[in-house]
Structure 1
């Protein structure tokens, strides 16, 4: 690692910045991991789209359908391809603590920059504060790598800002991906100051969060490589303008992406978000591939609707 445990927060404040994208994993027709396709996508994301970091083996990457060996291999490929040109944060999330720790140690040993660990499902638990604190404390005690919390509705609850702020005091907690209503992450941002990065995956809120909350990190989802091409990098452009304090110029560029956002929203089948994302990648010239069960594939009729929306959205190839 490039930092010590005690320096994790400072290192992340300095280096875990900009746009970090969550990688979809391409699967072959036989549902094996398409390593060649994944490497090709990563090269495009870094070399052509200037994405600053990748979130690997998360929900977007269908980690829930992968074996432990596949997840570890996923980590290794990302670290190998990023090779100091972009940061790597990997999801070690698992309901079994020993499994999550095993994945975390592999991430630490193979050269990942950070790990992300989602809040566990807590059946029957009503008072979650101490449970969550002790959960994250165990990972901090046993690991040196920087850790990002991750709270989202899939856990069956949302971590409260007060709970997150307490956990943020642990030495190698460096960030949180906070998939919650805006008022909650605004409150947490004010509570923790510059102690950790607070971020959410909603691209349509990213500009406001730079301008109003002084956020430095987009962590993360697929828009950085679905709203952009090698010759059309408006997300990067409005981000740079906002970081430079040029709010009006940034807003103009941001608003120009509304037709793309609208096309994606209205053509995405409600029950097939992953298959949609992969097909949109294919229309952009990236490697999409199959989805694994329990996720569902697109029908030909759904693909036709998406193709039409893509052709009309105004993205420049």
Structure 2
């Protein structure tokens, strides 16, 4: 590891910033993991798109369909390819806490920068405060690596800002990916200050959050490599303008991407977000590949409509 447990917060404060993307995992037609495809994508994302960090083996990466061995391998590949050029945050989320700890120990051993753990599904549990605090404390007691919380609707509830602020006091809690309504993450940002990094994955709000909340971290989803090409890095451009305080210029660049956003939104089938994201990658020249069950593939007609929207969205290849 690059820091001691007691230094986790300071290390993240100094190093966890800029645009971080959540990696989709490419699979072959037979369902096997396309390792070389992932390596190729990572080199493109880091070297050509200038993405500062990668979120590995998360929901975008279909971790729920992967074995423990595959998830560990996924982490190792990302560390090898990112090297010193980009950071890594590994999703070690699982309902089985022993699996969470095992994956966390592997992340430490293979050289990851941080891990992220989403709030567990808590069946029949309505008073969650102590349950959630003790869940994250249990993990922090057993791991030295910096840990990010992650709250999203898939858990069946949203962690309240007050709950998150309490957990943020634990020594190696460094961030939260907070997939909640804006009012909630604004409130948490004011509550924790610079104790931890607060972020959300909605690219539409990224610029506003830099300007209004002083955010320095986009953590993280697929827009950083779906809205950009090696010759058209407008998300990177408007982010750097915003970091420099040039917000009017940044808004012009951000708003110019609206046709791209609309092309993605208007063609993404509600039941096939992962397959759509992978096909969009292929249109960009990246390695998309196949999805695993229970996710569904696009039909030929869905591909045609997506391709037509892509061709008219204005991205420069």
State TM-score, norm by structure 1.
1.00
Distance (whole Å) between structure 1 residues aligned to residue 208 and residue 201 of structure 2: 13
Moved over 4 A (4+): none
Tell me what 2:138 maps to.
138
Alignment of 1:69-148 (within 5 A): 69-148=69-148
Distance (whole Å) between structure 2 residues aligned to residue 191 and residue 54 of structure 1: 27
Which sections of structure 1, spanning at least 5 residues, go unmatched? Answer: none
In the alignment, structure 1 residue 155 sits paired with structure 2 residue 155: yes
Deviations 1:36-73 (A, max 9, x none): 10000000001100000000000000000000000000
Distance (whole Å) between structure 2 residues aligned to residue 127 and residue 162 of structure 1: 13
What displacement does 1:84 show?
1.1
SS across alignment from 1:148: strand
In the alignment, structure 1 residue 46 sits paired with structure 2 residue 43: no
Alignment of 1:1-317 (within 5 A): 1-317=1-317
SS across alignment from 2:275: helix
SS across alignment from 2:60: coil
Distance (whole Å) between structure 2 residues aligned to residue 96 and residue 307 of structure 1: 40
Aligned-residue CA RMSD (Å):
0.4
Query: How many residue pairs were aligned?
Result: 317
What displacement does 1:269 show?
0.7
Which sections of structure 2, spanning at least 5 residues, go unmatched? Answer: none
Distance (whole Å) between structure 2 residues aligned to residue 146 and residue 260 of structure 1: 35
What displacement does 1:208 show?
0.3
Distance (whole Å) between structure 2 residues aligned to residue 309 and residue 267 of structure 1: 7
State TM-score, norm by structure 2.
1.00
Distance (whole Å) between structure 1 residues aligned to residue 302 and residue 309 of structure 2: 11
Distance (whole Å) between structure 2 residues aligned to residue 246 and residue 277 of structure 1: 31
What displacement does 1:260 show?
0.4
